[in-house]
Chains A and B, each alone.
Chain A
Amino acid sequence: MVSGKHLKDAIFAGEALLRKEMDFINAINVYPVADADTGTNMYNTIKGIADIIQDREEERADKMAEAIAEAALEAARGNSGTIISQYFWGFSEAIQGKHILTVPDLADAFVEAKEWAYQAVSNPVEGTMLTTMRAAADAAKALRDEKDPLSFANKVYQNALAALERTPEMLAKLGKPKIIDSGAYGYTLILEGFIHAFGGKIDGFRVRGMAAEQESPREDVGTLYCSNFMLDLDDGATAGEIRRAIQPYGDSIVVVGGRGKMKVHIHTDRPDKVRKILEGFGKVVQERIDKIW
């Protein structure tokens, strides 16, 4: 059964996950504007909620959900944060009067939360966090007969992940780059927070596939090259680490891959330097350097 403490733990787990992934979410932020702030807004929203409720000791689930919803109204930042604030408000509305939550209560909460999230947006667009919220709600509705909250949350999460994987196609239809939606990914981390709070863990799964205009501290621009590398990775390197390493040397950085391979694209005036850095992460098995100007 799920108590107020579990809900509080879910927020803190979600905050930790968003803190870890904030830069990545910013980097893949292309919708509605590629202003690289969805990760910051989502993190600041959840952190703001966590700060407000941190001293609140409440076993009753409905009271804790209410505290979270109130805090979210205060802490919400940006479009994504505002949608999340309404999501928590809907969640809280659905469980009024419930001291302890059963799986059917949780299912009702996820469904109502999704409804409120959609109402928060005057023109709901699919391919965004709303899509993953809907997928979670649909799964929750279908899983009302589950007995164990952890198993329930895991399956809800997996359904949201499946929807997340479809967001690149949906965003492409909106004329955006074909990458996962930043807010949708952020929402799956909030769901993951529930799994942690219920005593579970997601084993090593992180969605990685990224594209974003990156900031560059470089001001001097000589000859600029469109540089593409294919990399056979040594163990453990992530797209985020590679991106951070080459970021000072250019922009329009794209790092995509998985299962030991990574494709790297960068506009740089130092392709030789970038290559050297990449060799620190594994073997460069292919490269193509084209002059831009």
Chain B
Amino acid sequence: MVSFRIIVDSTIDFPPDLSVEVVPVHVYAGAVDLLDKRDFTHETLRDVLEKGVPLRTAAPSVKEWMRAVEAQDADSPVLIMTLGSSYSSAVQSARIAARMLAKNGYTIRVFDTETSSVGAGIFVERAVDLAERGAPLDRAYEELEKLLPRARLYLVVTDMESATRSGRIPRIVGKIGRLLDLHPIFHVVDARVHLWRTVRGIDAAVKAMLDVTRGQNNILVGEIGESAPARKIYAALRGTGKNVKLIPADPAIGAHFGWGSFGVAFFEDEQSPQ
């Protein structure tokens, strides 16, 4: 018995065995509106990337959040967790849904993870743990808020085209990057995506990921498609006895960062296993 329900948007990448409800974001492949994970799968992603179809994503609407909450009665409090508000309107639409549903007796808190993919996934893992241990919703929310400054997400872009198309990388940088086999590594910190470092060659990117995870524990490694570098990182981290999980990242994240991109997430200075 958990103390609150957890509903998340589909771009958050967390271990599949967790009891979490997922509301799909919309992915526009050209003009076609696809629901993430249902109509838009990794196969679809690969196909449209190969064909060069422009991809855009849009957060769930207010009504879609409301429907997810109303799928169960108002007895259980609800924690909605979203992709960071700096790059998605998910938190905005979820907060409006929460405000509207409060009139019907629902208790809802909306948590802005301020990050994405496995970076948000580490918060979901922690929220599930708190719910299973019976923490009241407000206390769990406070615990999660305290973790915000310690959350770290590093993302390696292997497909410059998708990242430039989505506006994450200036186009001219993307062109130079492709020419020189450069891989930008993004660091999501303080709710913003920063270009942390640019490395030449994928091995240098793997090394950089292993460097940032040195001394850390409870790590999620995310991969968009089957990513050999991500698996290399995962194997290396497991070899050192760390608590680490390899997570298939959501295809909608792939719409922004491209096939084969990968990342690592953890709470800084977390030594003890969960």
Q: Are A74 and B63 in contact (CB under 8 A)?
A: yes
Q: Chain A contacts of B165 at CB under 8 A?
A: 215
Q: Chain B contacts of A33 at CB under 8 A?
A: 86-87, 167
Q: Which of B54, B58, B87, B179 contacts A77 (CB 8 A)?
A: B58
Residue-wise interface mask of A (56-82) relative to B, using a CB-CB cutoff of 8 A (1 in contact, 0 not): 000000000000000001111111011
Q: Chain A contacts of B186 at CB under 8 A?
A: none
Report Cα–Cα, A82/B58, bound state, in Å.
10
Q: Are A44 and B63 in contact (CB under 8 A)?
A: no
Interface core residue of B54, B164, B171 (most chain A CB under 10 Å): B171
Select the stretch in B75-83, B89-97, B142-150 that faces chain A.
B89-97
Does B28 sit at the interface, judged by CB under 8 A? Answer: yes
Q: Chain A contacts of B227 at CB under 8 A?
A: none
Closest chain A residue, CB of each to CB of B91: A122
**A contact patch SS:** loop
Does A204 sit at the interface, judged by CB under 8 A? Answer: no
Residue-wise interface mask of A (119-132) relative to B, using a CB-CB cutoff of 8 A (1 in contact, 0 not): 01110000000000
Does B172 sit at the interface, judged by CB under 8 A? Answer: yes
Q: Chain A contacts of B66 at CB under 8 A?
A: 73
Q: Are B167 and A86 in contact (CB under 8 A)?
A: no
Q: A73-B61, A73-B62, A77-B58 are in contact. Are A82 and B92 (CB under 8 A)?
A: yes
Contact size range, B: 20 to 34
Does B26 sit at the interface, judged by CB under 8 A? Answer: yes
Q: Are B171 and A82 in contact (CB under 8 A)?
A: no
Contact size range, A: 35 or more
Does A96 sit at the interface, judged by CB under 8 A? Answer: no
Q: A79-B89, A82-B62 are in contact. Are A216 and B56 (CB under 8 A)?
A: no
Interface members, chain A 119-168 (any B CB < 8 Å): 120-122
Report Cα–Cα, A66/B151, bound state, in Å.
42
Does B52 sit at the interface, judged by CB under 8 A? Answer: yes
Does B215 sit at the interface, judged by CB under 8 A? Answer: no
Q: Are A73 and B33 in contact (CB under 8 A)?
A: no
Report Cα–Cα, A132/B142, bound state, in Å.
37
Which 10 pairs show the lowest CB-CB distances between chains A and B?
Answer: A35-B167, A77-B58, A79-B89, A74-B63, A73-B63, A73-B62, A34-B167, A76-B61, A251-B171, A37-B56
Chain B contact residues, CB within 8 Å of chain A: 26, 28, 33, 52, 54, 56, 58-59, 61-64, 66, 85-87, 89, 92-93, 95-96, 164-167, 170-172, 175, 178-179
9 additional contacts, CB 8 Å, given A44-B28, A85-B96, A219-B178? A77-B26, A79-B89, A79-B92, A82-B89, A82-B93, A213-B164, A213-B167, A215-B54, A292-B172
Show 22 A/B contacts (Cβ-Cβ < 8 Å), sorted by A. Answer: A33-B86, A36-B56, A37-B56, A37-B58, A40-B28, A74-B62, A74-B64, A77-B26, A78-B59, A82-B62, A82-B96, A85-B62, A85-B96, A120-B92, A120-B96, A122-B95, A213-B164, A213-B170, A215-B54, A217-B52, A224-B172, A224-B175
